[in-house]
Amino acid sequence: MKPEERNIKENMLKEAVRGRLLLHICCAPDAAVPFRDLKAEGWDDIAGYFYGSNIHPREEYSLRAEALEFLAEREGVFVLMEPYEPDAWRALADPLAEEPEGGRRCALCFELQLRAAAAEGARRGATHLGTTLTISPHKDVALISRLGGEIAASHGMIWQDRVWRKNNGFLRSLTISAELGLYRQNYCGCLYSQRSKGACVE
């Protein structure tokens, strides 16, 4: 493609992207590719949202929050950090403590995070809702897509239905994380996933 044709295409893409996107972020490594790709597509009004109360223990939460703050600064994306309230998350998730990873507890966890993100997005006038969760090879993208679509619609937003692990997305996230020296966890996040370390990283 000639340079002038590329410029025309990029300008058309930017014209098409006029929304305000609230991007739910599960962790810094998973956000690196969405940040870069969305900006390259012309999204220039993006806010990230980090829930974090599912993460155990507090020291692990701090490591992940610091990594995200570093990435946000580096990539020039504003990120909202929700106050850390693990007791509130556990009050809802503990009844599903015995569920396997990928089961009903994780569905609840996704829903809690996406609902919190959507509520914040609605308060801030976001037009679109998305998530970085789908970069993980371990996550149920069909479930996330269904939940995200329903939750976005219930808050008057459009769901950005992206499967970030496509097109080597996960591999790219590993590469960028290594380049930037980002902290990478070795379990999904909650107390239960910490006990079964390695089963569902990300």
CB of 23 to ligand SF4, least distance (A): 17
Q: Determine, following the binding rule CB under 6 A, whether residue 45 of this chain makes contact with ligand SF4.
A: no
Residue 54: closest CA among 192, 148, 165, 175: 192
Selected range binding ligand SF4 among 13-21, 34-42, 99-107, 170-178, rule: CB under 6 A: 99-107
Q: Determine, following the binding rule CB under 6 A, whether residue 54 of this chain makes contact with ligand SF4.
A: yes
- Contacts (CB under 6 A) with ligand SF4, residues 157-196: 188-190, 192-193
Of 105 and 184, nearer to ligand SF4 (C-beta) is 105
Q: Determine, following the binding rule CB under 6 A, whether residue 144 of this chain makes contact with ligand SF4.
A: no
Q: What is d(CA 62, CA 44) in angstroms, rounded to the nearest whole number?
A: 28
Of 14 and 197, nearer to ligand SF4 (C-beta) is 197
Q: What is d(CA 17, CA 121) in angstroms, rounded to the nearest whole number?
A: 17
Of 17 and 96, nearer to ligand SF4 (C-beta) is 96
Q: Determine, following the binding rule CB under 6 A, whether residue 106 of this chain makes contact with ligand SF4.
A: yes
Per-residue binding letters, 109-128, with ligand SF4 (x by CB under 6 A): x-------------------
Q: Determine, following the binding rule CB under 6 A, whether residue 52 of this chain makes contact with ligand SF4.
A: no
CB of 191 to ligand SF4, least distance (A): 8
Which residues in this chain contact ligand SF4 in the complex, by CB under 6 A?
54, 101, 105-106, 109, 188-190, 192-193, 200
